[in-house]
Amino acid sequence: MGWFGSLRVLAAGLVAEGLDALLPPRCAVCGHELAGRAGDRPGGAPVCPACAATLGRDGARCLSCGAPGALVDCTACRGRRQGWDGIVVLGAYADELRDAVLRAKRPTGERVAAALAALLVHRRRDVLDAWSPDVVVPVPMHWLRRAVRGTSAADEIARGVAAGLGLPCRRLLRRTRATPMQNTLPAGERRGNVRGAFRVRGRLAGLRVLLVDDVTTTGATLAACGEAAVSAGAAAVYAAAVARADRGESPDA
């Protein structure tokens, strides 16, 4: 590194120290002040030890359906076709994780979304690396719903996951119709509600795709996206969700 590069690194360090003195770094999830430099926490979304220890600490989850229990061939999905080649979930849609996901859905929730993405990658990196995805693709929100809400949590989380894995994040799927919200329908009607609702708008042929969503319940939306990707020639489709609404847990809009 030349003298100019060294000077630039020194200046960046001094700026970071000055900012930390004026605005001490805070946890992106709970807002509590953190010890240490913000510059030492990549991604711009630091998480305090308490939140890191609490969010998603609910034990092993099935890599086929995301339900709690055995890593493979769990009783919840034995013999069922899922619509993807594997899934990772940070934790159950309940308690502190539920609250964090709801805040990530707000227009001001980008830092919370980035923090949840970082935790998801950190906790499930061994599986994600083994899958060797080529591209991260967020589950798309219909343009009208996105305009009303002002953001898409899936987009923000997908960007964080892609950054953590060092992969491109591409919005290669689009939602062609504004279907009723999945959480307003009985479980048995959800696959039909989203069947054919997604179209590929970019090249997926030969790629290993990692779909990302904020919450999954029956998996109907992820499966519909996976079917669209496979129809466009994707070599493999995997899924990642921050939270799964297990039995007895009601997902929110």
The per-residue pLDDT for range 150-163, each reduced to its tens digit, is 889 999 999 999 99
> Which tens digits make up the pLDDT trace of 95-122?
999 999 999 999 999 999 999 999 999 9
Which residues does 149 contact at the CB level (< 8 Å), separation at least 6?
105, 107, 141
Is 206 a residue whose pLDDT tops 90? yes
Indicate the pTM of the whole model.
0.81
Nearest to 102 by CA among 246, 203, 247, 245: 245
CB 165 within 8 A of CB 121: yes
54 contacts: CB under 8 Å, gap ≥ 6: 96
Asked if residues 223 and 84 have their Cβ atoms less than 8 Å apart, the reply is: yes
Task: Convert the pLDDT of each residue in 49-68 to its tens digit.
Answer: 888 888 877 778 899 989 88
Q: Is 90 exceeded by the pLDDT of residue 131?
A: yes
Which residue's structure tokens are 């305009």? 147
Domain spans in the chain, listed from the N-terminal domain onward: 1-54, 56-244
Question: Could you report the per-residue pLDDT of 1-13, keeping only the tens digit for each?
Answer: 444 444 443 444 4
CATH of 56-244, one of 3.40.50.2020, 1.10.10.10, 3.40.50.970, 1.10.645.10: 3.40.50.2020
